């Protein structure tokens, strides 16, 4: 669905058209739920948050000025709600910080290319801390630009670029560790 179509739906939702919110739900439910549940890892709570996001859209559509893309607006609502959950529950986040001497050379690329399958990479993705994982998910699953991701996560654009850069380094480090362990066996 093109941005113009999404904006038209939002306009109709603002006018109280229930079939428009249903159409928007059908289009956006899957990616939003995925984004929420990756962070919360709680299907029921994620379903609640998803419901809240659509209710916010229902209530706030009339005031939507179209300064952001609809998708960006909805993801930012979801992001704020998830952060609220983290704050209320004081959830701990696992740090994936690593020393900066990660090998960034072409040999590291060869490691990843030589992986028999993507299983190792998936495991490494799961090990990223939420900020890095969000950036990777939004950039590579949702194919969003750094400006959109920065808007959703309310951080400067440069921070998003840096997060993905570091996430990539951490993934390489993790992969190399797993490959080396495999060789040692």
* Residues at the contact surface with other proteins, assessed by CB under 8 A: 16, 18, 21-22, 25-26, 29-30, 33-34, 37, 43-45, 47-48, 50-52, 54-56, 58-59, 105-106, 108-109, 112-113, 118, 121-122, 125, 136-137, 139-141, 143-146, 148, 161-162, 164-165, 168, 171-172
Which residues lie closer than 8 Å to 68 by C-beta, 6 or more apart?
A: 76, 148, 151
Which is nearer to other proteins, 152 or 171 (by Cβ)? Answer: 171
Q: How far apart are the C-alpha atoms of 146 and 130, rounded to whole Å?
A: 17
Whichever of 79 and 184 has its CB closer to other proteins, that residue is: 79
**In whole angstroms, what is the distance from residue 112 CA to residue 53 CA?**
37
Residue 170, number of CB atoms within 10 A of its CB: 21
Please report how close the Cβ of residue 155 comes to other proteins at its closest, in angstroms. Answer: 14
Task: Name the minimum Å distance from CB 5 to other proteins.
Answer: 19
Give 26 or 91: the residue with its C-beta nearer to other proteins: 26
The CA-atom distances, in angstroms, between 155 and each of 12, 140, 146, 159, 164 are 31, 18, 10, 6, 13
**Between residues 74 and 184, which has the closer beta carbon with respect to other proteins?**
74
Rounded distance between C-alpha atoms, residue 143 and residue 75, angstroms: 13
Least distance between other proteins and beta carbon 40 (Å)? 11
């Amino acid at each position: 669905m093109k941005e113009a179509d999404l904006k038209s739906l939002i306009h109709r939702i603002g006018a109280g058209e229930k079939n428009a919110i249903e159409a928007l739900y059908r289009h956006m439910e899957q990616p939003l739920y995925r984004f929420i549940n990756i962070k919360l890892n709680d299907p029921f709570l994620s379903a609640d948050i998803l419901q809240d996001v659509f209710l916010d859209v229902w209530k706030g559509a009339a005031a939507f000025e179209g300064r952001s893309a609809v998708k960006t607006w909805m993801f930012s609502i979801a992001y704020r709600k998830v952060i609220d959950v983290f704050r209320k529950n004081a959830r701990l986040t696992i740090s994936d910080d690593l020393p900066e001497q990660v090998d960034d050379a072409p040999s590291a690329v060869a490691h990843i290319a030589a992986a028999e399958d993507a299983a190792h990479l998936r495991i490494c993705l799961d090990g990223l801390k939420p900020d890095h994982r969000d950036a990777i998910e939004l950039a590579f699953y949702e194919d969003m630009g750094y400006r959109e991701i920065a808007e959703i996560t309310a951080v400067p654009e440069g921070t998003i670029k840096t997060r993905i850069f570091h996430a990539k380094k951490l993934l390489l480090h993790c992969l190399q560790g797993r490959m080396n362990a495999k060789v040692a066996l």
